[in-house]
Amino acid sequence: MTPAARVQASIEILDDILAGVPAEKALTGWARRSRYAGSKDRAAVRDHVFAALRCQRSYAALGGSQTGRGLMIGAQRAAGTDLNAVFTGDRHAPATVSGDEEGRAFAGDAEQYDIPEWLWPRFQMSLGDQAIPVAQALQNRAPVHLRVNLIKTDIAGAIAALEADGIQAQVHPACDTALEVSEGARMIAQSSAYANGLVELQDAASQAVVAALELHPGLRVLDYCAGGGGKSLALAAHPGLEVFAHDVNAARLRDLPVRAGRAGAKVTVLTTDEATRQPPFDVVLVDAPCSGSGSWRRAPAGKWALTEARLQELTTIQFNILNQLSPLVAPGGVLAYATCSMLADENGAVVDGFLHSNTDWRESFRKTWLVSHGTDGFFTAHLTR
Ligand SMILES: C[S@@+](CC[C@H](N)C(=O)[O-])C[C@H]1O[C@@H](n2cnc3c(N)ncnc32)[C@H](O)[C@@H]1O
């Protein structure tokens, strides 16, 4: 495919997404209909589509409309590339750009930096002078991070094994087990380092949330909102811990036994009933459902789908989960709250609300990671009594 044909394909896929088709489904549907597209074409189209989804507001302003075509015109203008070289009207290329497809000046910072208008004041309140750098970071593609599985190898061993598979990775400063991939990211899933459980795909801040816990052999640890189990596996890499995983949506834990097998890790999956009937845990990690604002680079639809009402609903859920789980923590144990969000409403405010109504609890640790510092956005707080 020519670069122009890739842009035309992206326009059509974006139109499907704007009409309500989920991004992955729209991309897969296009790939199935387009057998002529090779793996490089599919990767390039995917990149175009995700960039346009991350930068939907600014590209629509620059491109003159909130359509697939408007977004791709906006993308070319944002990149400063020659529109006439791509929008040629030739076979498979998009039609030439007309006079009524002029861009316009941004209406304000929220539009320029691709944050929903209603959210911008809260975003600024949460992030202060980091609001614009964080919003700009969210306009760009997320880096690819790996967690080195210390059960099976060490940092140097993992880097060497990846290199043998044609993947270049360097140590990431956010966590001792984290690597950032600089070349060959698309080959990870097929690499032997991955297949043999030497590395797992996991953001460095997600790893750092686990690394921030004081863990020593003999502790019983429950990952209560385990999802796919990324943090459960990171916990289970600590020698001598007894690790339990739970999620209200049991289907999300389906792949965990296979992943644990690959990693040589032991994780016991618990139902909700089993989790509440267990003796108290030394550590309960609550990686709570949240807006996902720290991972909007990877899942940009979430940025545009979030509403004020949903944010409110999430903070209520977060507060309720903390209250519901505090009895599962052994005296002297830790209730570790975490979100992949950078919004104060879901982070400090929830923790403060919990401490306000549970005066026998105190906070011993709090940290926020920002996308502007090279990881996903994350928050954690440790609560003890
Ligand atoms: C942020 S995700 C967890 C991500 C996961 N810990 C990881 O590292 O990949 C939040 C999870 O909480 C689960 N969840 C939502 N409400 C819950 C509840 N009331 N109790 C337990 N889990 C819940 C969701 O199903 C979802 O898998």
Q: What is the mean pLDDT of each run of 10 residues along the chain (385 residues)?
A: 96 97 96 93 97 98 97 97 94 94 95 98 97 98 98 98 97 98 96 96 98 97 97 97 97 95 96 93 98 97 97 98 96 97 98 97 98 97 97
List of residues 6+ apart from 234 with CB closer than 8 A: 147, 177, 200, 202, 206, 207, 210, 211
CA of 159 to the centre of ligand 1 (A): 31
Question: Considering only CA atoms, which residue is closest to atom 15 of ligand 1?
Answer: 289
In this predicted structure, what is the pLDDT of residue 93?
A: 96
What does the H/E/C string look like for 234-280?
Answer: HHHCCCCCEEEECCCCHHHHCCHHHHHHHHCCCCEECCHHHHHHCCC
Beta strands 220-223; 199-201: pairing state: unpaired
Fold topology of 206-384:
Rossmann fold (3.40.50)
Which CATH superfamily groups domain 144-201? Sun protein; domain 3 (3.30.70.1170)
Query: Annotated catalytic residue: which of 55, 175, 225, 340?
Result: 340
In this predicted structure, what is the pLDDT of residue 137?
A: 98
Would you call 175 a catalytic residue per the annotation?
A: no
Half-sphere exposure (CA, 13 Å, Cβ side) for 70? 20
In this predicted structure, what is the pLDDT of residue 218?
A: 96
Pocket of ligand 1 (CB under 6 A): 206, 224-228, 230-231, 247-249, 252, 287, 289, 321, 340
How many angstroms separate the CA atoms of 348 and 345, rounded? 7
User: What atom of ligand 1 comes closest to residue 223's alpha carbon?
Assistant: 6
CA of 14 to the centre of ligand 1 (A): 29
41 is in an annotated binding site: no
How many angstroms separate the CA atoms of 265 and 239, rounded? 10
In this predicted structure, what is the pLDDT of residue 321?
A: 97
CA of 245 to the centre of ligand 1 (A): 10
Return the SS3 of 384. Answer: strand
247 is in an annotated binding site: yes
Listed in order, the ranges of the chain carrying CATH 3.40.50.150 are: 206-384
- Pocket probe mutation, ligand 1, options 210, 248, 337, max atoms within 8 Å of Cβ: 248
Listed in order, the ranges of the chain carrying CATH 3.30.70.1170 are: 144-201
pLDDT, tens digit (0-9, with 9 covering 90-100), for 110-145 = 999 999 999 999 999 999 999 999 999 999 999 999
CA of 161 to the centre of ligand 1 (A): 32
In this predicted structure, what is the pLDDT of residue 275?
A: 94
pTM: 0.95
